[in-house]
Structure 1
Amino acid sequence: MPCALCGDIIPAEVNRCPACGAWARRRDFRAVGVAVFMLLGFDAFVALGSGISLLRMAHPLRHETHGTYDAVATGEAIAPYTEVFTVYALLAVVTGVLYLFWFWRAYGQSPGPHRHHRAWALFGWFTPIVNLWLPPRMVYEVWVNSGRYRTAERQAAGAVVAAWWCCAVLGVLLARAFARGSTDSLAEARFDVHLGVAAAGCLALSAALCMANVFQITRLQTGQEVVARS
């Protein structure tokens, strides 16, 4: 397997990279972080493309009148976007599974002390009510504990994490509202399209902000080995 730091091949029977001395237990951490980063980028691209396409659909609806509006045709045109959001949800599940594996490693490798047991790095995402506030708090804790941050930098990291989580939750709620929307009237169709655009924008932004915390935490934790060896 190639070393995550220098790229040299690490034999399976050794615990450290022969070229740079990186520990084998962390040699794949950076690779997992890169994989999560790329999947999040793909998710953001899909959501952004859907939002732009829906936005283009909103333009003709502005010029429609109650006399010329065709509810059936509009419903058929909007229906595929519900399927797009379903596909996006499946992609998000795949990304989420890999993200949880990455976060479990990141939480275990980050310097302590931690306010919560490591098990919450997994169960905190699935426990009702708790999953509304605990996951972003733990991500923020791992982020700031993995490096040496001043107060302003900690606040900036907290703002990124808070914006990511708010956009993710809002995007999911808006996407569900869009899927249940109606096109029976012109006003309802316009509102439903705007809901879809807002949902796609929030989901794209949340994926981009999540890329930021994955990149920074992975960079900081893989950099710790270099500092320790120097």
Structure 2
Amino acid sequence: MPCALCGDIIPTEVARCPACGAWARRRDFRAVGVAVFMLLGFNAFIALGSGISLLRMARPLRGATHDTYDPGATDRALAPYSDVFLICSIMAAVTGLLYLGWLWRAYRQSPGPHRHHRAWVVLGWLCPIVNLWLPPRLVYEVWVNSGRYRTAERQAAGLVVAAWWTCVLLGVLLARVFTAGSVETLAEARFDVHVGVAAAAFQALAAALCMASVFQITRLQVARGT
């Protein structure tokens, strides 16, 4: 198989790359990180496309009046976007499963001490209430423990993680508000479209920020193993 770091062909019975000396475990971890990174990019692309398409829907509503507004036509036009958000949720769930596998290995490979048991890497996403605040703490802990950071760099990493998690929560919340929204009146339709645009924007930004954290953590941990 080719080495994930240098591209040299490595025999299956060899534990380290003969060219760069990378361990097989680190190669596998980097491959998982690249897969998560690409899936997150695809999620961001779909969300961004949905937001841009919804912005086009907002243009005719700006020029509409209460006399010319057609609730039925607007409802039919917005119905596919509810399906798009459902598809985005399914894609996010699939990406999340691979992300949990990557985070589990990253947490195990990062030097301690760790504030939480490794089981919380999975349980932290499943337990109600706890899943509102624990996942970003775990990601931040893995990130700063994977490299040697100054105080300013730790704060920057914390801002990225906090922004990512805020966008995740807002994206999920606004997507649900959009799918449950009403278009009976022109004002409600305009509000629903704006909520949909905001939901798509937050989801795309959340995926992009998560890509940044996955890239940095993977890079730092692979560099430590070479």
Please give the range of the TM-score, normalised by the shorter of the 2 chains. over 0.9
| Alignment-derived partner of residue 97 in structure 1 | 97
> 1:2 deviation in Å?
2.0
Alignment-mate amino acid for residue 9 of structure 2: I
Contact 1:4 1:29 (8 Å CA) reproduced: no
Deviations 1:43-87 (A, max 9, x none): 001001100110111111011111000000000000000001011
> 1:18 deviation in Å?
2.0
Contact 1:111 1:145 (8 Å CA) reproduced: yes
| Alignment-derived partner of residue 83 in structure 1 | 83
Q: How does 1:90-169 map to 2 (within 5 A)?
A: 90-169=90-169
In 2: Cα distance, 1:61 partner to 1:205 partner:
26
In 2: Cα distance, 1:83 partner to 1:116 partner:
38
Deviations 1:84-133 (A, max 9, x none): 10111111111111111111111111111111111111111111111111
> 1:17 deviation in Å?
1.7
Q: How does 1:1-230 map to 2 (within 5 A)?
A: 1-226=1-226
> 1:9 deviation in Å?
2.3
Percent pairwise identity? 77
In 2: Cα distance, 1:115 partner to 1:10 partner:
38
Alignment-mate amino acid for residue 134 of structure 2: L
In 1: Cα distance, 2:189 partner to 2:215 partner:
39
In 2: Cα distance, 1:14 partner to 1:115 partner:
36
Contact 1:54 1:196 (8 Å CA) reproduced: yes
Which segment drifts farther, 1-10 or 147-156? 1-10
For structure 2, the residue ranges without an aligned partner over 5 or more in a row are: none
> 1:225 deviation in Å?
2.0
Contact 1:100 1:122 (8 Å CA) reproduced: yes
Aligned pair count reads: 226
TM-score (norm 1): 0.96
Contact 2:26 2:225 (8 Å CA) reproduced: no
| RMSD value, Cα | 0.9
SS in structure 2 of the partner of residue 27 of structure 1: helix
TM-score (norm 2): 0.98
In 2: Cα distance, 1:187 partner to 1:20 partner:
62
In 2: Cα distance, 1:15 partner to 1:128 partner:
41
